[in-house]
């Protein structure tokens, strides 16, 4: 049984991944979000819902106790949130982090110039990369709602391929990362639809 804490659990990718994890993995989930009333518990035997802000250090650290994996799917003041996550993971003794960022943070998308809207994603990734955590940063393209699971990965330093990726593809990858210790450890991966 793997214990997974999902931060930003009401986001569309997090909600999709919650269902994929419950359907295809032996996991216990803690769904952490600012307004718990927005989320219905999909499986009360395996899912706990915690209302809280990632910037609430005490509550975040408490939610991390006993977790095996932290999966963060956030927006807003991302650098500050990343700093709080790293600190709370150290305090709780959790090492494995899956962190959702965005394509383009390294100016790696051919034909597109880096824009300041990506600063929060780039800055939070830098915080994660400078930590000693067992992290995987995912830099997806634009989300689609296709049913397909077909994706390709690019490493940091390689040109990003494509632009779109299905939510199901990302959820499939996150599920593999949750269930496979060491898979893509300390890597930043571009994720797009397979050509």
Block means of pLDDT (10 residues each) for the chain, 195 residues, are 97 97 95 96 97 97 98 96 98 98 95 91 98 98 94 96 94 98 97 91
pLDDT value for 48: 98
pLDDT value for 155: 97
- Model pTM score: 0.97
Which of the four CATH numbers 2.40.30.10, 3.40.50.720, 3.40.630.30, 3.40.50.620 does domain 2-193 have?
A: 3.40.50.720
What CA–CA distances, in Å, run from 76 to 34, 73, 99, 121, 153? 12, 11, 14, 10, 26
pLDDT value for 163: 84
pLDDT value for 184: 98
pLDDT value for 115: 87
Q: What's the token pair of residue 87? A: 């600190």
Alpha-carbon distance 184 to 161, whole Å?
Answer: 18
What CA–CA distances, in Å, run from 69 to 101, 109, 149? 17, 29, 23
The 3-state DSSP class for residue 16 equals: helix
- Beta-strand pair 2-7/69-72: parallel
Closest by CA to 14, choosing from 57, 61, 66, 75, is 75
pLDDT value for 162: 85
Structural domain spans, the chain: 2-193
Tens of pLDDT, residue by residue over 74-118, are: 999 999 999 999 999 999 999 999 999 999 999 999 988 888 999
pLDDT value for 195: 78
């Amino acid at each position: 049984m793997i214990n997974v804490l999902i931060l930003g659990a009401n986001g569309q990718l997090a909600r999709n991944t919650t269902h994929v994890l419950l359907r295809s993995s032996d996991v216990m989930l803690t769904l952490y979000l600012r307004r718990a009333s927005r989320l219905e518990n999909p499986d009360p035997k395996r899912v706990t819902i915690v209302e809280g802000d990632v910037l609430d250090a005490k509550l975040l650290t408490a939610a991390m106790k006993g977790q095996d994996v932290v999966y963060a799917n956030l927006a807003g003041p991302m650098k500050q949130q990343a700093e709080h996550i790293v600190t709370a993971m150290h305090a709780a003794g959790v090492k494995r982090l899956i962190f959702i960022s965005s394509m383009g943070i390294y100016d790696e998308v051919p034909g597109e110039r880096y824009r300041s809207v990506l600063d929060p994603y780039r800055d939070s990734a830098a915080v994660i990369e400078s930590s000693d955590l067992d992290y995987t940063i995912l830099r997806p393209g634009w989300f689609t709602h296709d049913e397909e699971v077909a994706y390709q990965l690019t490493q940091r330093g390689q040109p990003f391929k494509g632009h779109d990726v299905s939510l199901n593809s990302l959820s499939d990858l996150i599920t593999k990362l949750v269930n496979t210790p060491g898979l893509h450890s300390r890597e930043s991966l571009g994720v797009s639809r397979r050509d």
